[in-house]
Amino acid sequence: MSPELYVWKAPLPRDADEAEALVRVWRESSAAGADGAPAAGADRAPAAGPFESSDDVTWFSRELTGDAPPVWNPDRPATREHPDRVVVVPLEEATLQETLGEVYGLATKYDLVVYEPHRGAVNRPQAELAAYASATFWPHGAIRALLAGVAGAVIAGAAWLVGIPILSGLAIVVGLFLVVMAVYTFVHEGRIRLRARTKGQA
């Protein structure tokens, strides 16, 4: 039997054992697996089990199976039914790397949990990327944020002085946006660092 990935939104398991317990409850409640492995992105059974319904799971399935609407027609309905709680993705050796890359990329986009029973691994790619970004923010990320803020202030100031109708207004908006984002980034990362220090001292 080929290994599988399980992808869902919530609940958030603390470790692989908890993830396996959730999958086991879902299997038991839905009698999953009786008809063999599903197609990629297909729910094995309609039972809800322990997993919460989420549009993010549905869109993950649509994109994974190539059923997402085109850019020029974003309201196009799905051509088949898609799960909204948990997606089972079978892994084939011939397309293993491609499938893993696509699954983790979409899981990052939609902030989903990815459980790999064959490896005993459970991941939240978006949260892990955010944690890595915070861990490496000081000093290189801080310098980049500072430069972006300074650049934004310069753009806004220059546009104000030049005073070209419409163009100056747009430039001021862009510049102020960069300044606000730089300030927000410093405040956010500063809170994370302060929280980590407080926890370490506790």
How high is the pLDDT of residue 108? Answer: 93
Mean pLDDT of the chain: 83
131: confidence class by pLDDT, cuts 50, 70, 90: confident
How high is the pLDDT of residue 190? Answer: 79
The three-point CA angle 115-111-25 to 5° equals 40
How high is the pLDDT of residue 132? Answer: 65
How high is the pLDDT of residue 31? Answer: 62
Is 103 within 8 Å of 89 (Cβ atoms)? yes
Residue 73 has pLDDT above 60, yes or no: yes
Q: Mean pLDDT lowest for which of 1-15, 45-59, 64-78?
A: 45-59
How high is the pLDDT of residue 33? Answer: 44
This prediction has a pTM of 0.67
- What whole-number distance in Å separates Cα of residue 172 and Cα of residue 12? 42
Q: In the chain, pLDDT over 90 holds for what percent of residues?
A: 37
The domains of the chain are located at: 4-127, 136-201
Q: What is the pLDDT of residues 158-167, one digit of tens each?
A: 888 888 878 8
Residue 143 has pLDDT above 70, yes or no: yes
How high is the pLDDT of residue 46? Answer: 45
- What whole-number distance in Å separates Cα of residue 135 and Cα of residue 60? 28
Q: What is the pLDDT of residues 57-70, one digit of tens each?
A: 999 999 999 998 88
- What whole-number distance in Å separates Cα of residue 60 and Cα of residue 107? 7
3-state secondary structure the chain: CCCEEEEECCCCCCCHHHHHHHHHHHHHHHCCCCCCCCCCCECCCCCCCCCCCCHHHHHHHHHHCCCCCCCCCCCCCCCCCCCCCEEEEECCHHHHHHHHHHHHHHHHHHCCEEEECCCCEEECHHHHHHHHHHHCHHHHHHHHHHHHHHHHHHHHHHHHHHCCCCHHHHHHHHHHHHHHHHHHHHHHHHHHHHHHHHHHHC
Instruction: Say if residue 35 is exposed, middle or buried (CB neighbours under 10 Å; 0-12, 13-18, 19+).
Output: exposed
- What whole-number distance in Å separates Cα of residue 50 and Cα of residue 85? 9
Residue 28 has pLDDT above 90, yes or no: no
Q: Which residue has the higher pLDDT, 88 or 46?
A: 88
